[in-house]
Chains A and B, each alone.
With several copies, the nearest count.
Chain A
């Protein structure tokens, strides 16, 4: 099993969720985070004074999937949320050793 962690733009939250549902993924965990990256922040003004914001709101999706699904899901995410502008985000993939469905106690891939 792998954990796919995608950091995306907040405005892409709804579309990505829908796209994942359509692809048959209905387990995921979402949270709001702040990110820095190549997108170096923006300027706002507070009473005429410049304020540099170098952390921007981002959304993190965590999706645990079978090894076989990783590539297709990564591709799906990439295509769904890409705008081509700096700040589109990153996907990280890492290994998960075990998974438990609390309700039933099932373990491993069938618990996903």
Chain B
């Protein structure tokens, strides 16, 4: 027998995580310049297609197939081989394994889509999709295995780092990859001189709202059962972003005199990111603290570090997801309630023992190093294939929408940009 309650829970959470990618398209689309709106949204939408198909073809197998390598799954589930048999001959368990395949597919899609925030306005479309496909198979799938591959996996089992819903696997991996591509791509022409601003604030609000909505499924679904811990994960996923939003607004008020709506939305996203690795591990008060802490750190990363170092992370994929994910991973090592931990290590604050904290940092370091190396290599290969990652100057000036796709986002509206 399976548990129809938890099965329903996982079915619904799968749908919710799916929704995050269209939500991200709206979020990123609103943040982009008007002339690049179609291209920006298209990157996320097309990734649903590319990753959806590739996950079925090989991703699921590479991540969760095989027999227990520390680094990667196997080839036994290519094309979801064996899945239909499981449907026809159900085994006992909380829910049918096929539901988890769909759930994991949605994780792979949104993770890959997050990267595109760093690329807005200048990358060849074919290169984006090719990079996304290779990255899924060579970075995401192995990393998911290392962290969530169970018994014997490098980060999750051998090191014992905790990652409830995807601090390492989702946010650090995508954010850092975004950063690497920024460096490979170079800045948008006119970066720093031109007045880049979001072109559609309601679209950003809608995107952020739907992201948050979907994120409830993302974080509480990662409990894989409809129980009290799922409730805790849900509550924490409400509290941390609420706190981070207020915290970001306070920082803005202090630094520039005015709280902005785009700022509030950015702040809540950093709160969502920071609570992701911790959602089912920490108490509600800790979620509050994590939300308050993460916003100023990301604010600083986006407004100061980015200018200082000089990379052009257009829509702040690294600034929000990379930095926020690292902060969240580390704080999990501090605040994890021992009784809720997946292994015998608890947060420093409760146990006085830094083992978990150290494991968290190790997990993050391995993730960062692995991702940086792989992203550079894949980036170079894709650059070779396409004769450069970047569009022509004239395409960039005219806007990628009309040049690359022959479409304008709002052809019946006048305006500048």
Contacts and interface: CB of A to CB of B under 8 A. Distances in A.
Interface stretch (A19-27, A41-49, A66-74, A88-96): A41-49
B204 to A, nearest CB: 11
B302 A52 contact: no
B89 interface: no
Contact of A49 (B198, B303, B406, B415): B303
A48 B197 contact: no
A99 B35 CA distance: 30
Contacts of A43: 406
A11 interface: yes
Interface string B17-60: 00000000000000000010000000000000000000000000
Nearest to B403: A11
B416 A34 contact: yes
Contacts of B256: 45, 48
Given A13-B416, A32-B414, A34-B416, A46 B398 contact: no
Interface in B270-311: 299, 302-304, 306-307
A31 B306 CA distance: 33
B150 interface: no
Q: How large is the interface on A (under 10, 10 to 19, 20 to 34, 35 or more residues)?
A: 20 to 34
B302 to A, nearest CB: 5
B416 A52 contact: no
A76 interface: no
Contact of B252 (A9, A12, A45, A51): A45
Nearest to A43: B406
Contact of B398 (A10, A52, A53): A10
A100 interface: no
B353 interface: no
B350 interface: no
Nearest to B396: A11
A32 B258 CA distance: 27
Nearest to B266: A47
Interface in B374-417: 394, 397-399, 406-407, 414-416
A90 B190 CA distance: 26
Contacts of A54: 195
Contacts of A28: none
A14 interface: yes
A48 B416 contact: no
A48 B398 contact: no
A53 B196 CA distance: 10
Contacts of B190: 14
Contact of A48 (B194, B255, B414, B415): B255
Contacts of A10: 35, 398-399, 416
A64 interface: no
A34 B407 CA distance: 16
Contact of A47 (B35, B299, B394, B415): B299
Contacts of A11: 394, 397-399
B395 to A, nearest CB: 10
Nearest to A83: B394
B262 interface: yes
A12 B190 CA distance: 12
A10 B307 CA distance: 28
B260 A45 contact: yes
B163 interface: no
A55 interface: yes
Interface of B: 35, 190, 194-198, 251-252, 255-256, 258, 260, 262-263, 266, 299, 302-304, 306-307, 316, 319, 394, 397-399, 406-407, 414-416
Interface of A: 9-14, 30-34, 42-49, 51-55, 59
Question: A-B pairs with the 9 shortest C-beta distances?
Answer: A48-B303, A11-B397, A45-B256, A32-B414, A44-B406, A11-B398, A51-B195, A47-B302, A46-B197
